[in-house]
Amino acid sequence: MVVVSIAEQEWVEPLSDVPGVEVVHWDMKADPPRDDIEVVVPPYMGNPKRLERLAQLPKLQAVQLVTAGYEHAIPYLPDGVQLANGRGIHDTSTAELAVGLAIAAQRGIAEAVRAQPEGDWLRMAGRPSLADRHALVIGYGSIGRALAKRLLAFEVEVTAVASKPRDGDELVDRVHGIDELPDLLPQHDVVFLIVPLTDATRHLVDADFLAAMPPNALLVNVARGGVVDTDALVEACAAGRVRAALDVTEPEPLPQEHPLWRTQGVLITPHVGGATTAFTPRALRLLRTELRRYAAGEPLQNPVR
């Protein structure tokens, strides 16, 4: 039997019938309950420093995350231990929020909410629609494709970008390489960020990137805060050159006194892209599949390291 630790107590029973797997509860707040744990499923939320305790497991072979991002786990991963992310779990909720943020920013929903307590009937006609916009989706993985599918339903023209160019699919004619951004940015009204945070993507969005966007263009970040140079974004939005709708920021949580909160043209949600009722059923579905594969001697499907 493969011993697997699960951080969420309520997930232990639903996963207890996976063939070849013994599931134990370990939220990683204290030392491991036993030393024969081979696979760890860490908490969805919480301080990444809990992952320091992975080093206490002599038989550890794999860490299966339920997050799409994985940069938080790499510093604590023991040598020789495989790391897999939760690819697919957050596609629906994150794509849904990205579209919601874009619509809210385009149609002025935040202004309407602020005006409501005062009974102020705003004049909001003529604001930009999401329909007929040219959208650039930077990061065309599973979430990027889920987003593209939804944008197309809103009659948006979608251009996809990944780390390297490749053939398109049923949604886009082709996928552009990230080195094409200088030519692509001026042609797009809305730019969505859905890339992992790596050395290559940290501060991908800098002053030059923002300057290349058309006037009044919208930046939607549902990736990681570190993908954007926050100081450059504050300057560009304060000057009225671009707007931003952000589910992630750098730093996080965003301090109460941070100027980004009060910068014109900025809409912020507190990193809740995947945190909806859609999360648990999709996480359990992925874990059942992956743990069954692992117990049968098959590789995990979403290795990132």
Question: Cα dihedral angle (67, 73, 78, 82), rounded to 10 degrees?
Answer: 30
Angstrom distances, CA of residue 122 to CA of 108, 110, 140, 264, 286 = 10, 12, 37, 17, 46
Q: Give the residue among 57, 76, 44 at the shortest CA–CA distance from 3.
A: 57
Burial grade of 19 (CB within 10 A; 0-12, 13-18, 19 or more):
exposed
Residues with Cβ within 8 Å of residue 163, at least 6 apart in sequence: 177, 178, 200
Would you name the residues annotated as active-site residues?
A: 224, 252, 271
Rounded to the nearest 10 degrees, the angle between the axes of helix 91-107 and helix 142-153 is 50
CB–CB of 86/65 below 8 Å?
A: yes
Q: How far apart are CA 189 and CA 219, in angstroms?
A: 9
